[in-house]
Structure 1
Amino acid sequence: MSAPQGTDVIEDMPAMEVDLTVVVPAYNEERRLGPTLDAIVAHLSEDAGRFGQWELIVVDDGSTDGTREVVRAAAARDRRVQLVTSPRNRGKGHALRLGVAASYGRRVLVTDADLAAPIEELERLDKALADGQAAAIGSRATPGATIGTHQHRLRELLGRAGNFLIRRVAVPGIRDTQCGFKLFDGDRAREAFAASRLNGWGIDVEVLQHFRRSGWPVAEVPVRWSHQPGSKVRPFDYGRVLTELTVLKLRAAGPADVLAATLFLLMAVTLYSGRWIGPDSRYLPDSLQDQNQWEWFFAVTADSVRHLHNPLFSTLQGFPDGVNLMANTVMLGLSVPFAPVTLLFGPAVSLTLVMTLGLAATAAAWYWLIVKRVVRQRGAAFLGAALAAFAPPMVSHANAHPNFMILFMMPLIIDRALRLCSGTRVVRDGVVLGLMATYQIFLGEEPLLLASTGMALFALAYAVVRPAVAKASWRPLLKGMAVAAAVCLPIVAFPLYWQFAGPQSYKSVLHGDNAGNSPLALLSFAERSLVAGNAANANSLSLNPTEQNAFYGWPLVALAFTIVLRLWDRALVKALAFTAVAAALLSLGPKVRVPLTDVVLPGPWAVLSDKPLFESVIEGRVAMICAPALGMLVALAFERLVHTRSLGTQYLGMVAVAAALIPLVPAPLRTVDRVDVPAFVADGTWKSYVGRGESVVPVPLPDPGNAEALHWQTTADLAFPLPGGYFNGPWGKDRTGIYGASPRYTSNLLRDVRYTGVAPVIGKNWRAQARMDLAYWKAGVLVLAPQPNQDPLRKTVDKLVGHPATWTHGVWLWNLDGHGNFTP
């Protein structure tokens, strides 16, 4: 038989009544295939009445050796052996799809070319089908299975880990999805394989999922199995299976879902458009110094990955004491995976990419949760998710705090907790929840704490309005949470120990007596609101542009109140309303000043303000919990409006929703040209002045108010350490958390000159103290870049060092010997 090049070919395939078809995929199996075919033919021929009419189909998947000749030789001996060929190698999945499509058997057995499970094991699978199963899959993991020759120990462990993930994620309840020995009802097999889309190893899982969705019973049957040399399956192929299944799931998304995800990405790109114009040359001024800090976090993590250093600690800032990175917001869950991007393109590009994709992913995750749990109408879900992810507090944090706006794990955690309440697969869901919580800890602990607070508020309210549901849910929920804790704690135990008891750890970070929101902030508009933004008013009601944690606007608050009144009969609405109101009240802080008066009342946050973990929270951030709650309320209302029959009600409702949401649409984040790195650093001149173990000391030292020196350091590929810096670290005997390094006399003096512009009188005591501080910092060079008040700063350092500065490559510098002494 001949066929056009590039098409699949079925050789000598007559139509007939067949009781059993055996399908064997083969790729470059010239050496092993002959004995396999002989064994199958011999076994099926031993008892002609046992299996009835049978056929053996070998699918050659584009082999480049003599595989086809082996099959043709076997076919010459027995016409029941047939060959299907593929012009090129496309994978096991494609080969099985071809073979099953060419089959005629009432039952179809698929087996690998190495016959790791002997053909005699067909008896066991056949008995399961005779008992009413639609499929019987050979298993190496069920009781009764025996393994003759084992794989290499490492290979076996990796394979088990991969198979565990597949079981938990894709086909719960089946212990061994990847054993290549499976018997199917013929018609159902042809339907399932015809519906499959995967060409790789993932087709096994895809077909089993099809059987599950169709309600066709599947039995897992223990078999004898032996590892065969030359196996085509590698341990890391299990990861490929998970990737294939993920891609398949994404392809299954409907057009509306794809459109929603695309719009979320466009919204995120628009928000960060100023950065994307030139990631390395543009700066977000409303981030204050946080952009420098976060780029340093990504750079130091990538450097740790490249050199296999401890990613939880660094002495590149705060030299020589160092920085406890686990006690800072380094977001290892993203900075580690994106380390290759950081190393290739720099931390500015990497951070911009992470923040853009992370914001879009967060919106998509909220959309997924709302569609799954709240509404079915896609437009309603889009509005709700857009509000949850792009609400004014989120946009404010989008300037500077990726850990507070990259929250794609939160909807997944919420959904998994709700699954636990059903009590169907408590252990499985508990394990998954534990892994999710673990990952979120490496994305941000404070957001997880706030999300847990919101979930607790919602659960409390729902339990009050639906006590029967709460009574049925609390046992599986607690059991699942115990399982989650058992999974999570061993993984995070050491990182958390390092965070709270390791070098440069601290007890708590104090934010002042009251960092709560003003009641007016809940009703006002944020600075970056495109239509109604008011920078002066927003800044007067917030700590700074990165902490505008409320600002939902009075129209949205009024709309939410109306929605709650109209839909009050729904338990979900009551619980969401309580969650939003409680979070808003908590966000007011321990002391609440009544607007336009001098009256100060105790706030509900006072109950939590001194509790462990909560003592370090900026209480105004609790209002961020309101965003998803309000988003879900808007989604419920919009869905009701879409389905209402009254055109007047629909029109007025849509106008009200638009009036509430349009004022909150964010403008693109403001960007400015970045301050150039001095040529002294950029061109590498510093290398002539700094010896091994010495530091570069900027004048004044970098601190949370001016951390531009961190940009110098990342530009120089972190090749020199810096004293001072912008991070959280300990201060004093009590190890109280502060922003920046522990102050020293000289660093305080230089900071004061920077802000006041006044050069103080320098005597012997100041010079002696400066020499001690410079020796402590192991200063190789003092560097003064052009800046406001640079003249009094230069005069002050001249007197401290005892020698005038030298102008070199765009900076004033003083060369030191690492012991605090001037070196000409």
Structure 2
Amino acid sequence: MSGRSPGVDLSVVVPAYNEEERLGPTLTAITRYLGDGEGRWGEWEVIVADDGSTDGTGDVVTALEHPRVQLVTSPRNRGKGHALRLGVAASRGRRVLVTDADLAAPIEELERLDKALSDGHSAAIGSRSVPGAAIGTHQHRVRELLGRAGNFLIRATAVPGIRDTQCGFKLFEGDKAREVFAGSRLEGWGIDVEVLQQFRRRDWAVTEVPVRWSHQPGSKVAPLDYARVLADLGRLRARAIRPADLLATALFLLMAVALYSGRFFDPGHRYFPDSLQDQNQWEWFFAVTADNVAHLRNPLFSDLQGFPAGVNLMANTVMLGVSVPFAPLTLLAGPAVSLSVCMTLGLAVTAAAWYRLIVKRVVQRRPAAFVGASLAAFAPPMVSHANAHPNFVILFMIPLIIERALRLCAGARVVRDGIVLGLMAAYQIFLGEEPFLLAALGMTLFAASYALVRRDVARRSWRPLLKGLLIGGAVCLPLVAYPLYWQFAGPQSYTSVLHGDNAGNSPLSLLAFAERSLIAGNAESANALSLNPTEQNAFYGWPLVALAFTIVVRLWEQALVKALAFTAVGAALLSLGPKIRIPLTDLVYPGPWALLAHKPLFESVIEGRVAMICGPALGMLLAVAVDRLLATTGRGVQYVGLLAVLLALLPLVPAPLKSVDRVEVPAFFADGMWKSYVHDGESLVPLPLPDPGAAEALHWQTAAGLGFKMPGGYYNGPYGKDRIGIYGASPRFTSNMLRDVRYSGRIPVIGKNWRAQAQRDFAYWKAGALVVAPQPNDDALRKAVQQLTGRPGKWTGGVWVWDLHGGN
């Protein structure tokens, strides 16, 4: 990073309050050591920050009459923190040395600190507490013990890992020092700790360098001042959450409620038609998890669906990470309420997590971070999945995992951060493995590209990052080993779920607008470019793509921009699938996804979803651009730039998700009439069996309090000797035939063989009763079941029922 003035190599800032006696020798020593500007230290300056002294401190500087020594003054005494802010703000050097007026660490020790910065660190502390340090004159024994105790408390609570937080001899990269000191708040000498905290939070490398040090008489730091520093830091921490951050979080919540408004205020009686059958499935997932928790049953398995074989819940996305904590609400208010609240809060918290990451790592201006986080969390693919897939909406752990990985790169607290990362990874596995896999893919793209453009950072970071990842893996694996074993080798586990060879995005979908775009959406065109309304995985719109291209060209000199651009482009290309069809032609070319398509784990991924990685990458690019625009002084440039951002985002603003009145649950299920038809160990069989295309029976089952079991269902399970993953139960002759009747209205010729097969299937399902509810072609279904059983059904509770115990 270049300094504010290329002509100044080093700035030395000396805070001073009533230092008339000690300041003169200190300045003489500094200027003599630094020389005439043609030696080791190049062009330099010394800035004395007089903090409202009442003696002749300022006169000492004036009397020196040195052209490279300047005085900045405060009208009154406010504390060391204020003096340092004043002095650092006036500095111009590429590097800034802060040293106390007593020069307890000789100026010659600057060479050691300078070498540390040349080795890649952003700040170097002249330390009395690391091996190699030499202490000449000690303080009084009692004073020294009290000082050590106070320093220990500060280290433990504020900056773990740094032994000497109060040594007044520190060298910083100039621009970073000016940025951090300008944002500091403490007026006293606790600013030393505050500044180190800010360097740590930005993952700017800080190192301690052993120096020679001697206690100088006249110290203004009393032992009890350590307690004041701790109090100041506590107040600072209490003020860390700014009103702008609270406002941003509130706005994210309002945006999420607006998106879900069609269901949020009456979830039990409203349904998202664009979720297809997924709302029924997810409510069942929440209900069965709560039921398992309440009855202390295995939360990884259930035979309420897919009876008698059952369902491997860990091999399905039941999201135990939220469905278990939400179990009390599910039991109290029902799965519809629980799912609605969970998805709404989850989307808002995810946006807040992206906002926090962007503020800490990308830009500091809150409006810019808000724009970036809004796109990251409410981009068209996320809105599409918001219809039906909580695992792709509740992503708040992903930004936290990214931030923790970035901390590892700094190498400050590798063991601690590695442990935390492992715990985060374990929890994310229970929130959703596929989003975690896609996030890891996105992080790999970003890390590879950033390493190419900042090889110095890569050389410094790869060892602590690798060590932290290994520690994280050692923490995570024991926590998830048994659930993963159950998922891949337990009952009703499967190898992989195949989605066909056309699950990639069309190149046109990257430029088109999603169905739910408030001003540009078109259901017909959007669905022509996607698998279904829940899988509109790109649809960023050509204005945003054009704006992103412009941002990349304009800010290409920034390493972050290059890495984000590579991540977005790489994810977009991967999302096109193993074969890329060029629009409006018959040309087909191999896509980069072909390299991953048949690899373990990746073979079950819907490759079009990889484009979701583009959302956060584009959001951060926008944040960088908006931050730059807000900082510019040219009103015309600012106006045109912000207008371009507005025009690019406006077509992406989503309309509230479509909702309709939910069909009432037949009284047969809602009022408990089914209980007289189903004995222990038996199942209730809705016909045709529930499947991914018609899963309303799952809603009936949850409305009945999960009191009966049923064959079929909407889940992933094994099929055939190769245990290939399919949606729903393994098909049987009777279930296939009745499904065909439902969709076609045609009844095949049913003779003795069909009836015998039906009896075998009913026995396999351990059926106590058969049920045909009102649905398309229900008259044909009723007649087919009548022929299979040899007797008519009974109309009761709004459904046709066949009691298989011998009567109706």
TM over 0.5: same fold? yes
Instruction: Give the whole-Å Cα distance in 2 for the aligned partners of 1:526 and 1:508.
Output: 29
Instruction: Give the whole-Å Cα distance in 2 for the aligned partners of 1:711 and 1:612.
Output: 34
Instruction: Give the whole-Å Cα distance in 1 for the aligned partners of 2:472 and 2:711.
Output: 41
**Paired letter, 2:345:** L
Instruction: Give the whole-Å Cα distance in 2 for the aligned partners of 1:607 and 1:740.
Output: 29
State the match for 1:648 in structure 2: 636
State the match for 2:708 in structure 1: 720
TM-score, structure 2 as length reference:
0.73
Instruction: Give the whole-Å Cα distance in 1 for the aligned partners of 2:365 and 2:240.
Output: 18
Instruction: Give the whole-Å Cα distance in 2 for the aligned partners of 1:488 and 1:765.
Output: 54
Instruction: Give 1:683 shift.
Output: 0.6
State the match for 1:522 in structure 2: 510
Instruction: Give the whole-Å Cα distance in 2 for the aligned partners of 1:328 and 1:617.
Output: 13
Instruction: Give the whole-Å Cα distance in 2 for the aligned partners of 1:576 and 1:735.
Output: 40
**Paired letter, 1:325:** L
State the match for 1:458 in structure 2: 446
Pairing 1:130–2:118 present: no
Aligned equivalent of 1:388, options 376, 387, 391: 376
State the match for 2:735 in structure 1: 747
Instruction: Give the whole-Å Cα distance in 1 for the aligned partners of 2:234 and 2:635.
Output: 42
Q: Is the 8 A contact 2:319 2:430 kept in 1?
A: yes
**Paired letter, 1:290:** D
Aligned equivalent of 1:471, options 450, 459, 462: 459
Instruction: Give the whole-Å Cα distance in 2 for the aligned partners of 1:347 and 1:251.
Output: 38
Instruction: Give 1:598 shift.
Output: 1.3
State the match for 1:809 in structure 2: 797
State the match for 1:823 in structure 2: 807
Instruction: Give 1:722 shift.
Output: 1.0
Question: How big is each residue's C-alpha offset from its partner over 1:335-363, in whole Å with a ceiling of 9 and x where there is no partner?
Answer: 00010000000000000000000000000
Pairing 1:595–2:583 present: yes
Aligned equivalent of 2:392, options 404, 409, 420: 404
Task: Give the 3 Å change call, closer, same or farther, for CA 335–171 of structure 1 in structure 2.
Answer: farther
Task: Give the 3 Å change call, closer, same or farther, for CA 360–499 of structure 1 in structure 2.
Answer: same
Pairing 1:737–2:752 present: no
Instruction: Give the whole-Å Cα distance in 1 for the aligned partners of 2:196 and 2:465.
Output: 28
Aligned equivalent of 2:429, options 435, 438, 441: 441
Instruction: Give 1:251 shift.
Output: 6.7
Aligned equivalent of 1:431, options 419, 426, 441: 419
Q: Is the 8 A contact 1:128 1:136 kept in 2?
A: no
State the match for 1:67 in structure 2: none
Q: Is the 8 A contact 1:298 1:347 kept in 2?
A: yes
Instruction: Give 1:135 shift.
Output: 2.6
Instruction: Give the whole-Å Cα distance in 1 for the aligned partners of 2:595 and 2:247.
Output: 45
Instruction: Give the whole-Å Cα distance in 1 for the aligned partners of 2:650 and 2:533.
Output: 21
Pairing 1:416–2:404 present: yes
- SS of corresponding position for 1:559: helix
State the match for 1:161 in structure 2: none
Instruction: Give the whole-Å Cα distance in 1 for the aligned partners of 2:303 and 2:396.
Output: 32
Correspondences of 1:199-214 after superposition (within 5 Å): 213=194
Correspondences of 1:33-52 after superposition (within 5 Å): none
Instruction: Give 1:808 shift.
Output: 0.8
Task: Give the 3 Å change call, closer, same or farther, for CA 409–741 of structure 1 in structure 2.
Answer: same
**Paired letter, 1:430:** G
Instruction: Give the whole-Å Cα distance in 2 for the aligned partners of 1:629 and 1:530.
Output: 23
**Paired letter, 1:823:** G
Instruction: Give the whole-Å Cα distance in 1 for the aligned partners of 2:234 and 2:496.
Output: 41
State the match for 2:768 in structure 1: 780
Instruction: Give 1:617 shift.
Output: 0.2
Matched residue count:
609
Question: How big is each residue's C-alpha offset from its partner over 1:457-488, in whole Å with a ceiling of 9 and x where there is no partner?
Answer: 00110111111110111111100000000000
**Paired letter, 2:807:** T
- SS of corresponding position for 2:725: strand
Instruction: Give the whole-Å Cα distance in 2 for the aligned partners of 1:247 and 1:695.
Output: 62
Instruction: Give the whole-Å Cα distance in 2 for the aligned partners of 1:487 and 1:129.
Output: 40
State the match for 2:748 in structure 1: 760
- SS of corresponding position for 1:592: strand
Instruction: Give the whole-Å Cα distance in 1 for the aligned partners of 2:341 and 2:142.
Output: 55
Q: Is the 8 A contact 1:550 1:623 kept in 2?
A: yes
Q: Percent identity?
A: 73
Instruction: Give the whole-Å Cα distance in 2 for the aligned partners of 1:702 and 1:746.
Output: 13
**Paired letter, 1:614:** F
- SS of corresponding position for 2:768: strand
Task: Give the 3 Å change call, closer, same or farther, for CA 350–128 of structure 1 in structure 2.
Answer: farther
Instruction: Give the whole-Å Cα distance in 1 for the aligned partners of 2:687 and 2:719.
Output: 22
Runs of 5+ unmatched residues, structure 2? 1-140, 167-189, 198-232
Instruction: Give the whole-Å Cα distance in 1 for the aligned partners of 2:158 and 2:314.
Output: 33
Q: Is the 8 A contact 1:129 1:135 kept in 2?
A: no
- SS of corresponding position for 1:330: coil
Pairing 1:696–2:684 present: yes
Instruction: Give the whole-Å Cα distance in 2 for the aligned partners of 1:381 and 1:813.
Output: 58
Question: How big is each residue's C-alpha offset from its partner over 1:743-798, in whole Å with a ceiling of 9 and x where there is no partner?
Answer: 11111011111111111110111101100110111111111111110011001000
Question: How big is each residue's C-alpha offset from its partner over 1:637-694, in whole Å with a ceiling of 9 and x where there is no partner?
Answer: 1111111122211111111101100100010000000111111111111001111111
State the match for 2:346 in structure 1: 358
Question: How big is each residue's C-alpha offset from its partner over 1:677-716, in whole Å with a ceiling of 9 and x where there is no partner?
Answer: 1111111110011111111100111000000000001001
Instruction: Give the whole-Å Cα distance in 2 for the aligned partners of 1:536 and 1:572.
Output: 38
Instruction: Give 1:252 shift.
Output: 3.7
Task: Give the 3 Å change call, closer, same or farther, for CA 575–131 of structure 1 in structure 2.
Answer: same
State the match for 1:504 in structure 2: 492
Runs of 5+ unmatched residues, structure 1? 1-125, 139-165, 175-184, 186-208, 217-244
Instruction: Give the whole-Å Cα distance in 2 for the aligned partners of 1:528 and 1:727.
Output: 27
Instruction: Give the whole-Å Cα distance in 1 for the aligned partners of 2:240 and 2:574.
Output: 41
**Paired letter, 2:280:** N
Question: How big is each residue's C-alpha offset from its partner over 1:225-283, in whole Å with a ceiling of 9 and x where there is no partner?
Answer: xxxxxxxxxxxxxxxxxxxx999968741011111000000000000001123110000
Instruction: Give 1:303 shift.
Output: 0.3
- SS of corresponding position for 2:658: coil
Instruction: Give 1:132 shift.
Output: 2.5
Instruction: Give the whole-Å Cα distance in 2 for the aligned partners of 1:173 and 1:718.
Output: 53
Correspondences of 1:25-40 after superposition (within 5 Å): none
Instruction: Give the whole-Å Cα distance in 2 for the aligned partners of 1:291 and 1:249.
Output: 42
Instruction: Give the whole-Å Cα distance in 2 for the aligned partners of 1:256 and 1:512.
Output: 47
Q: Is the 8 A contact 1:129 1:136 kept in 2?
A: no
Instruction: Give the whole-Å Cα distance in 2 for the aligned partners of 1:128 and 1:514.
Output: 74
**Paired letter, 1:276:** F
Instruction: Give 1:212 shift.
Output: 5.8
Instruction: Give the whole-Å Cα distance in 2 for the aligned partners of 1:446 and 1:250.
Output: 37
**Paired letter, 1:672:** V
Correspondences of 1:2-13 after superposition (within 5 Å): none
TM-score, structure 1 as length reference:
0.72
Instruction: Give the whole-Å Cα distance in 1 for the aligned partners of 2:146 and 2:235.
Output: 36
Q: Is the 8 A contact 1:559 1:656 kept in 2?
A: yes
Instruction: Give the whole-Å Cα distance in 2 for the aligned partners of 1:471 and 1:602.
Output: 34
Instruction: Give the whole-Å Cα distance in 1 for the aligned partners of 2:351 and 2:595.
Output: 32
Instruction: Give the whole-Å Cα distance in 2 for the aligned partners of 1:377 and 1:256.
Output: 10
**Paired letter, 2:677:** Y
Task: Give the 3 Å change call, closer, same or farther, for CA 137–131 of structure 1 in structure 2.
Answer: closer
**Paired letter, 2:266:** G
**Paired letter, 2:646:** A
Task: Give the 3 Å change call, closer, same or farther, for CA 215–571 of structure 1 in structure 2.
Answer: closer
Instruction: Give 1:133 shift.
Output: 2.1
Correspondences of 1:126-205 after superposition (within 5 Å): 130=145, 132-135=147-150, 172=160
- SS of corresponding position for 1:316: coil
Instruction: Give the whole-Å Cα distance in 2 for the aligned partners of 1:785 and 1:246.
Output: 64
Instruction: Give the whole-Å Cα distance in 2 for the aligned partners of 1:251 and 1:737.
Output: 52
Structure 1: 4+ residue segments shifted above 4 A: 126-129, 169-174, 209-216, 245-251
Q: Is the 8 A contact 2:494 2:723 kept in 1?
A: yes
